[in-house]
């Protein structure tokens, strides 16, 4: 929402002596308002419309705003957005030109969002993708915050782009749309918007509510075998199956936001803000990166026979409603909780042949050190599972290349197991996992399966989603320390 107009008393301009190519402090320009005053006023005006009106006050003011190699527009841009790295190599004039162009483009997109349910707005939808894509890549953090991320959070509240991700026509069929939408999954509005009942009309719901489109299709896709829907499109290649990941986000949104399912809605709605999925907290870069320690999430499953019915499409072609089930933890607020610790000691690596030979788990190239920062990272997992107290897991993080120039993707391979009374791994009771760590290392989406069932049509598998909650644990620990200090 634009701010109210700002009334400014402007002295009479000497328009004959101003010129964008003449420095403001030259004698010829002394009759004008000093350029610093003009810029201070223009930069303080929050509304772009009011700023334009201010610039139209007289030619001298407009000349100062548009002159000086476009430096004003660079400052205006940096008030709202993070500075793109590429500007470091530009001459000042080109920085000013780029700043003006991208500022106006971004402001139009974020302040007047396209309707992503309307195929007639295809061009505006594509323009939105370009802007969001650039803001993701350019996002940088100062004092723990990113201007770009703040803008995208506001956009997510005002737009229906992330609320309805599948449509018959239009931009949802574009691979760039899939990549940007998956990257911004954490900004999905999972619950009903906070609006009065009187305003919660059918038109409002069409534009802004969390209606999950095509859930039956998403359910069929997420339970598909890893041979039919691999995490990466070809074994040994690094092109992520982004359409499948988008179906995963659609699947979990259905259970998180729909109370009638009786699955994840209540558990999720009771989570504090810091315990909900978050996005990247630092600038996105390539390579392998250690991930956080505390995680929360769940695996979905159906009975093996039900899974076969879903794969045949009976869940929508015959109207057969198959309800997904979820592993729950009472102590985890309805979600499972895990602790992941990255291993740096070579003597603590546990990856026997029984793990390496699982069909569907890609071979670990421990010699992948030709590029610094790209070697796989080993990790171990524990979890407070009351029904399976001896739960352990080991796995690897592998760097994946940028997707549409967005860095930070990683492949997550893991095998969970139990030990016998002698401490040996029980090799006929393994569970395998393969997933993608989204850029920033805060959310993991993928598949679990029973290795004894292979990777083909009879594979028993299901979707998994976990997210990092280190911030929630840090906040809780800080509160406990404060209480202890107060009592002491």
**Residue 356 within any structural domain of the chain:** yes
**Residue 246 within any structural domain of the chain:** yes
Distance CA 216, CA 197 (A): 29
Mean pLDDT calculated for residue range 222-226: 96
**Residue 355 within any structural domain of the chain:** yes
Give exposure, 375-405, as e/b (b: 16+ Cβ within 10 Å): bbbbbbbebebeeeeebbbbbbbbbbebbee
Domain encompassing residue 449: 212-475
pLDDT band at residue 17, thresholds of 50, 70 and 90? very low
pLDDT of residue 11: 44
**Residue 461 within any structural domain of the chain:** yes
Distance CA 185, CA 175 (A): 15
pLDDT band at residue 97, thresholds of 50, 70 and 90? confident
**Residue 50 within any structural domain of the chain:** no
- Residue 432 CA from chain centroid, whole number: 25
Average pLDDT, the chain: 82
Mean pLDDT calculated for residue range 439-462: 97
Lowest mean pLDDT, pick from 245-259, 341-355, 473-487: 473-487
Q: Give pTM, 2 decimals.
A: 0.85
What pLDDT digit, counting tens, does each position of 259-288 carry? 777 788 889 988 999 999 999 999 999 999
Mean pLDDT calculated for residue range 48-57: 62
**Residue 228 within any structural domain of the chain:** yes
SS3 per residue for the chain: CCCCCCCCCCCCCCHHHCCCCCCCCCHHHCCCCCHHHHHHHHHHCCCHHHHHHHHCCCHHHHHHHHCHHHHHHHHHHHHHCCCCHHHHHCCHHHHHHHHHHHHHHHHHHHHCCCCCCCHHHHHHHHHHHHHHHHHHHHCCCECCECHHHHHHHHHHHHCCCCCCCCCCCHHHHCHHHHHHHHHCHHHCCCCCCCCCHHHCCHHHHHHHCCCCCCHHHHHHHHCCCCCCCCCECCCCCCCECHHHHHHHHHHHHHHHHCHHHCCCHHHHHCCCHHHCCCCCCCCCCCCCCCCCCEEEEEEEECCHHHHHHHHCCHHHHCCCCCCCEECCCHHHCCCEEEEEEEECCHHHCCCCHHHHCCCCCCCCCCCCCCCCCCCCEEEEEECCCCCCCCCEEEEEEEECCCECCECCCEEEEEEEECECCCCCECCCCCEEEEEEECCCCCEEEEEEECHHHCCCCCCCEEEEEEEECHHHHHHHHHHHHHHHHHHC
Spatial neighbors of 314 by CB under 8 A, at least 6 apart, are 320
What pLDDT digit, counting tens, does each position of 185-212 carry? 999 866 555 566 777 676 766 666 556 7
> Which of 197, 196, 121, 104 lies closest to 159, judged by CA?
121
What pLDDT digit, counting tens, does each position of 118-139 carry? 888 999 999 999 999 999 999 9
pLDDT of residue 21: 40
CB atoms within 10 A of CB 415: 24
Number of structural domains, the chain?
A: 1
pLDDT of residue 27: 40
Lowest mean pLDDT, pick from 223-237, 380-394, 439-453: 380-394
**Residue 296 within any structural domain of the chain:** yes
Distance CA 362, CA 175 (A): 25
Q: Is the pLDDT of residue 313 over 50?
A: yes
Q: Is the pLDDT of residue 238 over 70?
A: no
Mean pLDDT calculated for residue range 284-304: 95
**Residue 391 within any structural domain of the chain:** yes
Give the sign of the dihedral formed by CA 241, CA 258, CA 204, CA 152.
negative
């Amino acid at each position: 929402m634009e701010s109210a107009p700002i009334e400014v008393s402007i002295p009479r301009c000497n328009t004959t002596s101003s010129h964008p190519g003449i420095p403001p402090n030259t004698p010829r320009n002394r009759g004008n308002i000093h350029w610093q005053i003009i810029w201070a006023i223009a930069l303080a005006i929050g509304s772009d419309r009011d700023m334009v009106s201010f610039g139209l006050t007289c030619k001298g003011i407009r000349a100062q705003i548009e002159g000086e190699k476009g430096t004003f527009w660079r400052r205006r841009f940096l008030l709202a957005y993070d500075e793109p790295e590429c500007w470091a190599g530009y001459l000042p004039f080109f920085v000013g030109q780029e700043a003006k162009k991208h500022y106006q483009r971004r402001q139009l997109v974020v302040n007047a969002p396209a309707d992503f349910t309307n195929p007639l707005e295809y061009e505006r939808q594509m323009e939105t993708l370009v802007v969001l894509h650039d803001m993701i890549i350019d996002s940088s953090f100062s004092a723990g915050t990113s201007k770009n991320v703040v803008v995208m959070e506001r956009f997510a509240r005002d737009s229906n782009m992330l609320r309805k991700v599948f449509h018959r026509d239009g931009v949802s069929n574009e691979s760039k749309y899939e990549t940007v939408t998956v990257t911004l999954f954490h900004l999905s509005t999972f619950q009903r918007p906070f609006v009065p009942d009187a305003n919660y009309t059918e038109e409002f719901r069409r534009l802004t509510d969390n209606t999950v489109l095509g859930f039956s299709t998403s359910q069929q896709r997420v339970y598909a075998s890893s041979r039919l829907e691999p995490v990466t499109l070809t074994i040994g290649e690094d092109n992520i199956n982004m359409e499948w990941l988008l179906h995963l986000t659609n699947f979990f949104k259905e259970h998180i936001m729909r109370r009638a399912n009786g699955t994840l809605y209540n558990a999720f709605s009771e989570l504090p803000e810091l315990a909900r999925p978050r996005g990247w907290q630092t600038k996105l870069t390539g390579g392998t990166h250690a991930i956080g320690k505390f995680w929360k999430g769940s695996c979905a499953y159906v009975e093996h026979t039900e899974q076969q019915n879903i794969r045949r499409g009976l869940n929508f072609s015959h109207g057969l409603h198959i309800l997904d089930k979820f592993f729950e933890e009472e102590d985890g607020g309805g979600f499972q909780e895990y602790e992941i610790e990255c291993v740096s000691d070579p003597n603590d690596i546990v990856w026997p042949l029984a793990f390496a030979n699982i069909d569907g788990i890609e071979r670990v190239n421990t010699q992948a050190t030709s590029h610094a920062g790209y070697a796989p990272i080993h990790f171990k997992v524990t979890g407070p599972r009351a029904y399976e107290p001896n739960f352990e897991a080991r796995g690897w993080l592998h760097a994946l290349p940028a997707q549409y120039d967005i860095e930070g993707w990683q492949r997550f391979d893991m095998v969970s197991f139990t030990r016998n009374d002698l401490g040996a791994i029980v090799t006929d009771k393994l569970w395998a996992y393969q997933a993608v760590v989204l850029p920033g290392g805060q959310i993991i989406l993928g598949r679990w399966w029973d290795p004894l069932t292979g990777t083909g049509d009879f594979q028993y598998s299901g979707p998994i989603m976990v997210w990092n909650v280190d911030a929630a644990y840090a906040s809780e620990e800080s509160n406990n320390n404060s209480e202890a200090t107060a009592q002491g």
